Amino acid sequence: MIRSHQNPRVKAAVKLRNARSRRAEGKFLIDGLTELKRAVASGIALETVFFHGEATHSELRSLPIAATCLWEVSAEILDRLNYGQRENAVVAIGITPQTTCKELPIRSDSLLLALDQTEKPGNLGACLRTAAACGVDAVLLVNPICELFNPNTIRASRGAVFSLPIAAITAQELEVLRSQHGLKLVGARVDAKRSLWECDLRQGSILLFGNEAHGLGPEWIPRTDMDFTIPMRGEPDSLNLSISAAVTLYEAVRQRSLPNI
């Protein structure tokens, strides 16, 4: 059992709480047994899995994880490694996967979610969780500001970050992808004239949302095939990014479930 805070494995894991270290090392941290199970099921490569207690060890042995990756630590060490307060938690070091837009499973009738310059990991994670629930074919991160494998993103996504096809792309690459597959680019704008309820989302579409502070920039105006706004009553002038994405995705799923007339 590892009990020392000076243990090299522990020190290496603690460094990964820092975004710069995660980028430099090409590794990230996975907090919690549920998230770890989803990462393993999705084929995420693991370097180390820290755990405490025989009950947790027993659960880990039932997973396809190499025994050499498993390291028992004291409760104090696990508390130091944990990102948040978790009961019977595990903390693992994963190898950051790299996916390009060319590897995404996209068809001419696909439903895609595109997020432009998303800043907040919690919002990104919530969008991914909804995207997984709605069965989107892929998520496109256009010039992302926040990390995909930020601990807050992983937690807010409830592990959906591991199972969804996701790629970071540029605006130019998005246009090429849209053209190659004949997809309609549909942008969310607070000042759009068309209501979401007036949009036909039954054909292959990319639903595009801007970042939390500024929405979609003017550079997107000539690029989108259709813009829409989500109708609101009362004083708020906009909705949270993850809420807007959820409302729109479920409207697309609703439309796609209707019989063709």
pLDDT band with cut points at 50, 70 and 90 for residue 184? very high
Q: What is the mean pLDDT of residues 66-71?
A: 95
| Each residue's pLDDT tens digit, 6-36 | 999 999 999 999 999 999 999 999 998 889 9
Q: What is the mean pLDDT of residues 81-99?
A: 82
Domains, the chain, in order of start with CATH, read 8-95 (3.30.1330.30), 101-257 (3.40.1280.10)
Instruction: Report pTM.
Output: 0.90
Residue 235 confidence (pLDDT) above 70: no
Which among 186, 215, 198 has a CA at the least distance from the CA of 113? 186
Query: What pLDDT sits at residue 194?
Result: 95
pLDDT band with cut points at 50, 70 and 90 for residue 228? very high
